[in-house]
Structure 1
Amino acid sequence: MALPSVQRVFLESIASSSDPEGRFIEVNGIQTYYKKVIPQSHKHLLQNQHFIPNETNKPVILLLHHILGNLYTWRHHMQPLADATGCHVIAYDRPTFGFTERPTKWEEGQNPYTQEASVDFAVQLVANLGYKNRKIAFAGVSGGGGIICAIAIKYPDLVHSLILIAPSIRPEDQGPPPIGRHILGSAPGRLFIKIALYQYLPLTLFYHNTNSIPDWETVVKPTYRVPLTLPNFYESFSWLMKYFVPLNILPNKDILTQKPILYISGDDDRYLHVDKHREVFDEIASTPTSSTSHPNFKMEFKVINECGHLPQDEKPQEVLNSIIDFLISLQI
């Protein structure tokens, strides 16, 4: 048996000391850091019967974080979501971010840093955790929202519902323009990334008011900065930019409307203005298949006051309440 890489051993060591509830699983050859929670009402069964019950008619809830984020962003949501819905809830660090391994080489056609790879990666993760062919209620913030839309387009039969939190869906909103990605994917660009992120991460531009977030300076900010010290972070982020091609979402909006959608935006989103979010929502909602005659038709647009681009961080309780109300309305 081959010995694990130094990177894997190091990531496991740091992760276990940071959060003992986190776990690792291999997905498409990548050691992936994730957390899974089950309803409190099920935990006594797990202790007594040595299995995790999950009703076959219940979907799994999968949470996808934003670029430069990690699963920590869902710290206020996972257990309450599980308890309120009776579902298992999973969050993971997307490749490049958090404690998930960052490959330095790959076979042709297996580049883990493309957007298409991110789509298949999420689906494979759920399957590897034992939920193959189970319906999934997806929640994604910013770039994570774009990925879950692409999953719904490619794998519609797997999707129970979509919760889009300040999603980046239009091509011009999905990261920097091509020339910017080319620069960031170069050696000088990598140096710029290192200097900029070391100085400014987490980006306060994404928030309405960081002073409203408890423990921002002592806990939240340092946690988001941990990946800056981990192996291959800057290289992998540079590759992510180099190979970034926007996902083709809105041309397939007729597929999206076949699933229930909750769209959440902050009123002070300085990255994607709330009016742009409203335009995207209206464009999706106006497709011919969006009619009350469609059995799965349900679309809601929610604006959260005094909130920026990352509502799950800045207004976690309001986001949590909105998600729970939405899923319960679907008789989850």
Structure 2
Amino acid sequence: MPSPSHHTQDLRIDSLHGKLFVRIWSPDHLSPSFEQAPIVLFHDSLGCVELWREFPAKLAAITGKSVVAYDRLGFGRSDAHPGELTYGFVGDEAEQAFPTLKDHLGIGEFIAFGHSVGGGMATHCAARHREDCLALITESAQAFVEDRTLEGIREAKLGFQQDGQLERLAKYHGDKARWVLDAWTETWLSPAFAQWSLEAELERLDCPVLAIHGDQDEFGSELHPRQIARLTDGSSRVLLIDGCGHVPHREQPEVVLEAVVQLLR
């Protein structure tokens, strides 16, 4: 496979509260094209474009589609977030940043792929823009607030108190690292967030859905992909990967890539 640098394009686009960093991967050495629905990636709570690593290049190569990823406001190479996250932040992505990205790049039809909380954001985007969303892929997504999720977050919060851990996060988020960590832990652990779920958005979907989950995911049980499939129509499929944790696209990328190819066929 050619080096990703041979077929990537980096952009910074204006949004309501600051600039968003965007990267586009194109199959082989082609220029970015959105004539065929691109795959749009939504990162996790501590994630950013760089932390997708080589997965988007592989995804573009194996599907023949352009792949688009962006850093949410406050993350990675995007501008700082102007304040604290609201408890509606998962759904806000479908109303604010994603339409800005879609309009700026001239994206019509698209395929949404979200990891962890990005899976919830991808679900909202698929429901809100259902006339253009051809398929939804969730990976390690949370469909509701589960005790297992909260316990995993509490353990991670303790881990970040150890020397050097916040500095590791700063490698990707710079001086926004503390905000990124608090936005994840304090929002999810707040009692005000306890009743959050994706139920209403899942019930609105009418596109094929693939719910990928590792059977050893420390941030959510297999109840989440089962819930996603149950609340969507008959074109939904659950892929539970044996011996896999919270990041299947890094731990077992070939399994994830093959499942995406099968879905898009």
TM-score bin, normalised by smaller chain: 0.7 to 0.9
Shift of the alpha carbon at 1:311? 0.7
SS across alignment from 2:59: helix
Bigger strand share: 2
Shift of the alpha carbon at 1:26? 1.8
Change (3 A) 1:280 1:37: same
Q: Are 1:167 and 2:145 an aligned pair? A: no
TM-score normalised over the length of structure 2: 0.78
Larger Rg: 1
Q: Are 1:266 and 2:242 an aligned pair? A: no
Change (3 A) 1:199 1:114: farther
Contact 1:73/1:312 (<8 A) preserved: no
Distance 2:80 2:158 in 1: 16
Shift of the alpha carbon at 1:68? 0.8
Q: Which amino acid aligns with 2:57?
A: Q
- Report the counterpart of residue 314 of structure 1 in structure 2: 251
Distance 2:148 2:19 in 1: 26
Change (3 A) 1:201 1:139: farther
- Report the counterpart of residue 301 of structure 1 in structure 2: 238
Shift of the alpha carbon at 1:158? 2.5
Q: Are 1:325 and 2:262 an aligned pair? A: yes
Distance 1:140 1:175 in 2: 17
C-alpha RMSD over aligned residues: 3.5
Shift of the alpha carbon at 1:251? 3.2
Q: Which of 100, 103, 106 is the aligned partner of 1:127?
A: 103
Shift of the alpha carbon at 1:64? 0.9
Distance 2:176 2:251 in 1: 29
- Report the counterpart of residue 91 of structure 2 in structure 1: 116
Contact 1:34/1:93 (<8 A) preserved: yes
- Report the counterpart of residue 155 of structure 1 in structure 2: 129
Change (3 A) 1:325 1:196: same
Q: 1:65-84 alignment to 2 at 5 Å?
A: 65-84=43-62
Q: 1:212-251 alignment to 2 at 5 Å?
A: 225-227=170-172, 230-235=174-179, 237-238=181-182, 245=193, 248-251=197-200
Shift of the alpha carbon at 1:27? 2.1
Unaligned runs of 5+ in 1: 1-19, 44-51, 185-191, 203-220, 292-297
Change (3 A) 1:197 1:162: farther
- Report the counterpart of residue 59 of structure 1 in structure 2: 37
TM-score normalised over the length of structure 1: 0.64
Identity of aligned residues (%): 21
SS across alignment from 1:270: coil
SS across alignment from 1:303: strand
Q: Which of 198, 211, 231 is the aligned partner of 1:284?
A: 231
The C-alpha deviation readout for 1:16-53, integer Å capped at 9, x for no partner, is xxxx964322222321112101222534xxxxxxxx54
Contact 2:117/2:141 (<8 A) preserved: yes
Distance 2:184 2:57 in 1: 31
Change (3 A) 1:65 1:173: farther
Shift of the alpha carbon at 1:241? 5.8
Q: Which amino acid aligns with 1:233?
A: A
Q: Which amino acid aligns with 1:196?
A: F
Distance 1:160 1:308 in 2: 27
Q: Are 1:25 and 2:13 an aligned pair? A: yes
Distance 2:250 2:219 in 1: 15
Mean Cα deviation higher: 165-174 or 155-164: 165-174
Q: Which amino acid aligns with 2:58?
A: P
Mean Cα deviation higher: 157-166 or 192-201: 192-201
Change (3 A) 1:140 1:53: closer
Change (3 A) 1:99 1:262: same
Shift of the alpha carbon at 1:77? 2.4
SS across alignment from 2:76: coil
SS across alignment from 1:273: coil
Contact 2:49/2:70 (<8 A) preserved: yes
Mean Cα deviation higher: 93-102 or 22-31: 22-31
Contact 1:164/1:262 (<8 A) preserved: yes
SS across alignment from 1:309: coil
SS across alignment from 1:94: coil
Shift of the alpha carbon at 1:62? 0.3
Q: Are 1:139 and 2:113 an aligned pair? A: yes
- Report the counterpart of residue 3 of structure 2 in structure 1: none
Distance 1:75 1:61 in 2: 16
Q: Which amino acid aligns with 1:99?
A: R
Distance 1:239 1:278 in 2: 24
